[in-house]
């Protein structure tokens, strides 16, 4: 766990507040308790912004994030994957964030590489390009050649970037808690939770070992596919701050979209979607940022994926439910959709399923026809705040990431091929998956963990069986019963039995008295002895029984 001082950097905090004020978020700040809780203690008194920014609130937010630098650019990129938190309009605008920065001086790059690899740069590389081929806020990439002539791309992290990001995260935590306490209408967004999630994400991305692991895992999953690949990683020339990879020649997909010459757009669109289908629904490990600039196309339509800083993971159980959800969407099965999202934990017992059912039917009606060719449209609706709030839904982060990835790859597919139909390709892939599941040979493909569990169970059977025989042989079998409230039930039965007995006795006395009413023995002229005595006793018993019933209650 990383250590953070409690107090934020006041100078940087003032700078952040000033930038938000500049982009006309001062009105919001002034209406909240920030004015008292934040401005006065920090002596933050700002005049109205001198410049007027003619842009919408989402655009102004993007511009503010870009000006504030690496931490806020990365935060914006993360929020662009969470329309469930910030809404579709803001998420869409933040996805346009330009992560570009002034290139580092070559001297700083050289110092970083030599400090990390503990060798002179001339001892590692035959040639090293001093000008970067790409420059971002966290790091930049240089082209080089190893001593044996292999062409490589070297990703170098900016000096002190981790310390700068750490300071900004302290401020983010401080502001998030302040907002959460003082702005009730924003509590729904759980800003402290967003900052914590961002903290985990950004520090993973800063560790280039994680990216190297992701690249190698992707390569192994598609090792048998000649059309899908990722750069080879050179571990001996890589650290947590320097990543040396195979240099991939080809054309970025972003450039092909501008001028689709020499390439078959129809083939690339289908191949890209099939690749993502396999990543999500078969492997459960996917590249979570399929931006066109992160896919390089080589001759023959070979796709190379680069930049594995952001990936998603899905376990097997969740994948199985996803496939069943996809089948329900393809079949227009509303009840099936509701059943699957309940099994996935997206809705709970508090959700009004009838209301949800009608909303999903409205979605199908809205997207009926050409729009339903994009399955991402339907799945994305479940991540929208209006659906989440109305139906008390909780969306797992990786579900949001995969929906975003599917939507992006569908959008790219439509730009490459106007006749692109994701639904048809998904149907073909689902059919193959079902056939593979039903293959009798798959019976023998048992998960290793299950085999170990079965082996433990089999190992315990002989010992358990022998113990059972010994107990039977000794005649010491004992059955223990646990009862609840049987004492109370017994008391009720006993009371009821007593009352029945008294009732029967009273009835018998009445009948007997009636039979002897004509007897000769009399108390007074016209009044028989025994008959009168019987009626008196019956009356007393009946009165006592009535009192007992009234005292004990109707059902006692």
Q: Which residue has the tokens 């690899």?
A: 117
As a whole number of angstroms, the distance between CA 209 and CA 211 comes to: 5
Cβ(353)–Cβ(335) below 8 Å: no
Measured in degrees and rounded to the nearest 5, phi and psi for residue 510 equal -65, -45
Measure Cα distances from 154 to 67, 135, 146, 248 in Å: 27, 12, 11, 12
Q: At a CB cut-off of 8 Å and minimum separation 6, what does 44 contact?
A: 14, 17, 38
Q: Which residue has the tokens 């979209």?
A: 257
Q: At a CB cut-off of 8 Å and minimum separation 6, what does 244 contact?
A: 144, 152, 153, 154, 155, 233, 234, 237, 238
DSSP 102: P
| Strand, helix or coil for residue 385 | helix
Cβ(49)–Cβ(22) below 8 Å: yes
Q: Among candidates 53, 70, 59, which has minimal Cα distance to 92?
A: 59
Q: Residues for the chain: how many in total?
A: 556
Tokens of 434: 């079902």
Question: Among positive and negative, which fits the CA dihedral 319, 321, 322, 326?
Answer: positive
As a whole number of angstroms, the distance between CA 230 and CA 214 comes to: 10
As a whole number of angstroms, the distance between CA 368 and CA 203 comes to: 42
- 86 burial type by CB count under 10 A (0-12 exposed, 13-18 middle, 19+ buried): buried
- What is the residue-wise DSSP string for 45-81? --PPPSS---S-HHHHHHHHHHHH-HHHHHHHHHHTT
The residue annotated as part of the active site, out of 84, 168, 289, 307, is 289
Tokens of 120: 């002179």
Tokens of 26: 């001062």
Q: Is 289 a known active-site residue?
A: yes
Element at 391 (helix H, strand E): none
Q: Which residues are catalytic?
A: 289
């Amino acid at each position: 766990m990383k250590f953070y001082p409690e107090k934020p950097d006041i100078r940087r905090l003032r700078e952040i507040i000033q930038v938000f004020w500049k982009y006309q978020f001062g009105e919001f700040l002034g209406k909240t308790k920030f004015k008292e809780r934040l401005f006065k203690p920090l002596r933050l008194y700002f005049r109205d912004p001198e410049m007027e920014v003619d842009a919408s609130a989402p655009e102004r937010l993007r511009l503010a994030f870009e000006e504030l630098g690496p931490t806020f650019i990365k935060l914006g990129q993360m929020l662009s994957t969470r329309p469930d938190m910030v809404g579709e309009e803001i998420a869409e605008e933040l996805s346009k964030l330009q992560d570009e920065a002034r290139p580092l001086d070559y001297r700083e790059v050289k110092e970083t590489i030599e400090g990390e690899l503990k060798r002179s740069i001339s001892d590692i590389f035959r040639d090293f390009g001093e000008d970067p081929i790409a420059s971002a806020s966290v790091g930049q990439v240089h082209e080089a050649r190893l001593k044996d002539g292999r062409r490589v791309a070297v990703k170098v992290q900016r000096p002190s970037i981790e310390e700068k990001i750490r300071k900004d995260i302290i401020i983010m935590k401080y502001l998030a808690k302040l907002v959460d306490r003082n702005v009730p209408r924003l509590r729904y967004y759980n800003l402290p939770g967003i900052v914590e999630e961002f903290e985990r994400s950004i520090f993973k991305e800063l560790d280039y070992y994680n990216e190297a692991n992701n690249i190698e895992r992707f390569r192994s999953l598609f090792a048998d596919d000649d059309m899908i690949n990722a750069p080879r990683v050179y571990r001996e020339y890589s650290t947590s701050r320097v990543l040396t990879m195979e240099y991939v020649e080809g054309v970025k997909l972003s450039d092909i979209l501008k001028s689709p010459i020499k390439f078959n757009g129809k083939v690339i669109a289908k191949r890209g979607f099939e690749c993502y289908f396999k990543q999500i629904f078969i492997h459960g490990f996917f590249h979570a940022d399929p931006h066109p600039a992160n896919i390089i196309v080589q001759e023959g339509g070979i796709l190379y994926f680069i930049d594995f800083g952001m990936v998603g993971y899905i376990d097997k159980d969740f994948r199985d439910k996803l496939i069943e959800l996809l089948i329900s969407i393809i079949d227009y099965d509303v009840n099936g959709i509701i059943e699957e999202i309940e099994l996935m934990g997206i809705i709970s017992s508090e959700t009004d399923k009838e209301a949800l059912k009608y909303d999903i039917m409205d979605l199908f009606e809205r997207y009926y026809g050409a729009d339903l060719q994009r399955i991402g449209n339907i799945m994305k609706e479940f991540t929208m705040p209006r659906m989440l709030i109305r139906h008390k839904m909780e969306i797992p982060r990786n579900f949001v990431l995969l929906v975003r990835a599917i939507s992006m790859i569908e959008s790219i597919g439509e730009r490459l091929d106007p006749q692109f139909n994701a639904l048809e390709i998904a149907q073909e892939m689902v059919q193959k998956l079902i056939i593979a599941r039903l293959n009798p040979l798959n019976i023998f493909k048992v998960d290793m963990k299950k085999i170990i569990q079965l082996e433990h169970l089999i190992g315990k059977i002989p010992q358990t069986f022998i113990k059972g025989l010994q107990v039977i042989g000794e005649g010491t079998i004992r059955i223990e019963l646990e009862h609840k409230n049987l004492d109370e039930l017994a008391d009720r039965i006993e009371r009821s039995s007593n009352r029945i007995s008294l009732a029967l006795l009273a009835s018998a006395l009445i009948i007997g008295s009636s039979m002897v009413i004509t007897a000769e023995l009399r108390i007074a002229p016209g009044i028989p002895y025994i008959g009168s005595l019987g009626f008196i006793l019956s009356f007393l018993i009946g009165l006592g029984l009535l009192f007992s019933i009234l005292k004990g209650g109707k059902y006692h």
